[in-house]
Amino acid sequence: MSATTETAGIAAPVPRGGIAQSVGDSLVVARRNLIRMTRIPEVVIFGLVQPIMFVVLFTYVFGGSIQVGGTISAQAYREFLMAGIFAQTVTFATAGASAGIADDMQKGLVDRFRSLPMSRGAVLTGRTLADLVQTALTLLVLAGVALLVGWRTHENIGKVLFGFVLLLFLGYAFSWIGALIGLSVRTPEAATSGGLIWLFPLTFISNAFVDPNQMPSFLRHIAEWNPFSATVQACRELFGNFPPGYQTPDAWPMQHPVIASLLWSLLILVVFRTLAVRKYRRAAG
């Protein structure tokens, strides 16, 4: 009798707390999505083509004609540009997150996960973590391409790495916007369109490609308080990529870009993660 009791006690599963279960389940879902990405390499390849095209086009087509810091210099614009291209790349990954989640919903993956004893939010967290890994690999390749076309940093390695951390944090926060869009539409095609259409004004009415000081007054104020602009400005500061003669705008986010970038990304993450998880629970309920 005692032997049976002892065996049963050893075999009994150890209960996990809510946080431990959520973390474990999220990592399992993330691993699943990463494995699926490796089996569809064209997704990763096509994800690299667009930012590389932007680097080449803006560097060689517009680089000698856009004024930054009061002068026209191809090298100065090249270094001014790259922080914007990096930030655009991590935010455009939002469309992929939207389409992936919409595809999972359409195929009934939500119903299969609903039957398992797992954290509801883990499905979305795992997906966004897998997208974060893909975004990090894309940034790594893009940085190599940028070095080939002449981009250079002028600060220590710690600041440069922190700049890339800010970029990834922004990308992760925006992936939750993509998650909410993916849960709100019926097809992956609609999710792709919905994930991209709002990104173009966000990235172009910013300091990514041109100096906001050259914009009309009403657009300049939008660009200066754009969360995307805060991260771009922070990266230029951390990379040492401000062109000679550049005048920093007076707006608070432009004067304190690192703090503004962290605050904007954290706010976006908290708000849209809450909304996306709530939407997912309703869809799975």
Overall average pLDDT of the 217-230 stretch: 94
Whether 1 has a pLDDT exceeding 50, the answer reads: no
Amino acid at 200: F
* Nearest residue to 74 via CA among 59, 89, 91: 59
- Give the model confidence (pLDDT) of 54-100 as tens digits: 888 877 877 667 777 667 777 888 889 899 999 999 998 888 888 88
Overall average pLDDT of the 245-260 stretch: 92
Give how far Cα 86 sits from Cα of 53, 79, 165, 187, 217, Å. Answer: 12, 12, 12, 29, 26
* Nearest residue to 233 via CA among 245, 244, 246: 246
Overall average pLDDT of the 28-52 stretch: 79
- Give the model confidence (pLDDT) of 137-176 as tens digits: 989 989 999 998 889 999 999 999 999 999 999 999 999 9
Q: What is the pLDDT of residue 111?
A: 66
Pair 122, 274: CB distance under 8 Å: no
Give how far Cα 46 sits from Cα of 53, 90, 171, 214, Å. Answer: 11, 14, 18, 34
Pair 86, 173: CB distance under 8 Å: no
Pair 55, 149: CB distance under 8 Å: yes
Pair 151, 76: CB distance under 8 Å: no
168 Cβ contact list (under 8 Å, min separation 6):
90, 132, 135, 136, 139
Q: What is the pLDDT of residue 107?
A: 77
